[in-house]
Amino acid sequence: MTGKLVEIPAINTNTLTNKFCQDMHTSSPKCICWDCYSYAMLEGSRKNCQPAWQKNSDILSGGLLGYPLPQFNSLYVRFDGHGELINETHFINYLLIAQHNPKSTFSLFTKRKDIVKRVLDTREQILLALVGLERKPKNLILVYSNPLVDRITDKIPYYFDKVFNTTTEKSTRDNCTGRKCIECLACYQFDGNSVLIEQKKKRA
Helices (H), 78-185: 88-100, 113-120, 125-130, 181-184
How far, in Å, CA of 88 to CA of 133, rounded?
A: 14
pLDDT at residue 70, rounded to an integer: 94
pLDDT at residue 100, rounded to an integer: 94
How far, in Å, CA of 97 to CA of 191, rounded?
A: 22
The sheet with strand 162-167 has its strands ordered as 10-11, 76-79, 105-110, 140-145, 162-167, 195-199
CA distance readout (Å), 125 to 84, 102, 144, 161: 23, 21, 22, 20
Please give the helix or strand (H or E) that residue 41 lies within, else none: helix 37-42
How far, in Å, CA of 37 to CA of 81, rounded?
A: 11
Q: Which residues pair with 79 in a beta bridge?
A: 11, 108
pLDDT at residue 130, rounded to an integer: 64
Region 120-149: mean pLDDT is: 82
How far, in Å, CA of 153 to CA of 56, rounded?
A: 32
In this predicted structure, the answer to whether residue 160 has a pLDDT above a threshold of 80 is yes
Question: Of the ranges 33-42, 109-118, 123-132, 156-165, which one carries the lowest mean pLDDT score?
Answer: 123-132
**Residues in CB range of 108: below 8 A, 6 or more apart:** 78, 79, 80, 94, 140, 141, 142, 143
pLDDT at residue 7, rounded to an integer: 87
How far, in Å, CA of 9 to CA of 37, rounded?
A: 18
Cβ atoms 8, 77 nearer than 8 A: yes
Domain ranges within the chain, ordered by starting residue: 3-199
pLDDT at residue 122, rounded to an integer: 66
Residues 33-89 have pLDDT tens digits of 988 888 888 888 888 999 999 999 999 999 999 889 999 999 999 999 999 999 999
Average pLDDT, rounded, for the chain: 89
The pTM score is 0.91
Question: Of the ranges 41-45, 101-105, 144-148, which one carries the lowest mean pLDDT score?
Answer: 41-45
How far, in Å, CA of 107 to CA of 98, rounded?
A: 9
Region 17-23: mean pLDDT is: 94
pLDDT at residue 172, rounded to an integer: 77
By CB neighbour count within 10 A (0-12 exposed, 13-18 middle, 19+ buried), where does 162 fall? buried
